């Protein structure tokens, strides 16, 4: 069967020759749009409870979180390698001394081969890059930057408190340092059209990234966006499954063909998800729908770039 896009699972098999599992850890970070240095309230869509496993807690040491994560995954899978995933909030936003202490604590774990560090573009300083470059000499280091949109009006609307130019500059100082680079993008933000989504693909294709995660816009309890949705749901054009699948296919057709697509959608706990209601479909089911639609259209990643 012809592969229609660059899949993350195939990349992992090719790179490591075995299963590699991310273990989320919480380093107790905050964000510059939460603590007042740039803004308050955080991103309007953000509730970190949607992706923090039960064993993840800033009240525990990094080592304890990793031990509990390994114990959890060993019940499900055979022996495998692990990446410590600094996921909650902005994981390059602290003193360089504390960042190094937390990163190195994770890397001292005997089952951890590297780090995945989720962060914002405006917290990538030369000192952070130097630290990550040093760690990358001996470990597999990934930096995931929340891009979310290439449109400044959308970034302002969701209270990111940074611009797309900040994204470009962050990747520019991270590239060619031995660090693996990835990004996150939300599909379906208010006011964005299919043409905007295609523009996202074209703009992101110019960044020096290896990986990309796509997320559908979700309304999550406890967020500023949830309050806005409750007040005026008609202002939100949430995508149904069929529309989302077709939008993603159009996006992928315009995406640089070597970018590895790590995820096409996001799953939030039922008790936190307000909308859209996709009938409990799992991420792998959405992925299969996208694959089948690409097959139906006889298109592939980068198809519209040729």
- Alpha-carbon radius of gyration of the chain: 19
pLDDT tens for 218-236 read 999 999 999 999 999 999 9
259 contacts 299 by C-beta, under 8 angstroms: no
Quote the DSSP letter at residue 181: E
Domain ranges of the chain: 8-301
Q: How many Cβ atoms from other residues are within 10 Å of residue 70's Cβ?
A: 18
Of 237, 181, 177, the residue nearest 207 (C-alpha): 181
Topology annotation, domain 8-301: TIM Barrel (3.20.20)
Q: What is the pTM of this model?
A: 0.94
Q: How many Cβ atoms from other residues are within 10 Å of residue 25's Cβ?
A: 33
Cβ partners under 8 Å of residue 113, min gap 6: 20, 81, 82, 83, 139, 140
Q: How far apart are CA 302 and CA 255, in angstroms?
A: 5
pLDDT at 158: 96
Task: Show pLDDT as tens, one digit a residue, over the chain (306 residues).
Answer: 468 999 999 999 999 999 999 999 999 999 999 999 999 999 999 987 766 777 888 899 999 999 999 999 988 887 689 999 999 999 999 999 999 999 999 999 999 999 999 999 999 999 999 999 999 999 999 999 999 999 999 999 999 999 999 999 999 999 999 999 999 999 999 999 999 999 999 999 999 999 999 999 999 999 999 999 999 999 998 999 999 999 999 999 999 999 999 999 999 888 899 999 999 899 999 999 999 999 999 999 999 987
pLDDT tens for 235-249 read 998 999 999 999 999
pLDDT tens for 39-54 read 999 999 998 776 677 7
Termini Cα distance of the chain: 22
């Amino acid at each position: 069967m012809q592969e229609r896009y660059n899949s993350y699972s195939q990349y992992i098999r090719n790179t490591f020759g075995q299963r590699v599992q991310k273990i989320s850890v919480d380093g107790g970070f905050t964000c510059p749009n939460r603590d007042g240095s740039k803004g308050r309230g955080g991103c309007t869509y953000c509730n970190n409870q949607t992706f923090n496993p039960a064993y993840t807690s800033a009240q525990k040491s990094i080592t304890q979180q990793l031990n509990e994560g390994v114990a959890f995954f060993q019940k499900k899978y055979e022996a495998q390698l692990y990446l410590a995933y600094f996921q909650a909030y902005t994981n390059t936003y602290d003193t360089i001394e504390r960042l190094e202490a937390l990163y190195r604590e994770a890397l001292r774990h005997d089952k951890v081969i590297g780090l995945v560090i989720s962060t914002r573009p405006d917290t990538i300083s030369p000192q952070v890059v130097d630290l990550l470059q040093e760690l990358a000499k001996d470990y597999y280091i990934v930096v995931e930057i929340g891009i979310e949109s290439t449109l400044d009006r959308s970034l302002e609307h969701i209270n990111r408190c940074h611009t797309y130019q900040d994204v470009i500059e962050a990747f520019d100082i991270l590239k060619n340092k031995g660090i693996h680079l990835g990004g996150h993008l939300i599909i379906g933000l208010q006011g964005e059209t299919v043409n905007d989504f295609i523009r996202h693909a074209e703009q992101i294709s110019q960044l020096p990234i290896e990986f990309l995660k796509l997320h559908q816009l979700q309304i999550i309890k406890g967020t500023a966006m949830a309050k806005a949705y409750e007040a005026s749901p008609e202002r939100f054009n949430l995508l149904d499954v069929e529309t989302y699948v077709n939008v993603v296919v159009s996006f992928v057709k315009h995406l640089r063909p070597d970018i590895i697509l790590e995820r096409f959608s996001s799953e939030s706990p039922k008790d936190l998800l307000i909308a859209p209601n996709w009938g409990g479909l799992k991420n792998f089911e959405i992925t299969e729908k996208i694959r089948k639609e690409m097959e139906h259209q006889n298109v592939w990643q980068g198809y519209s770039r040729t």
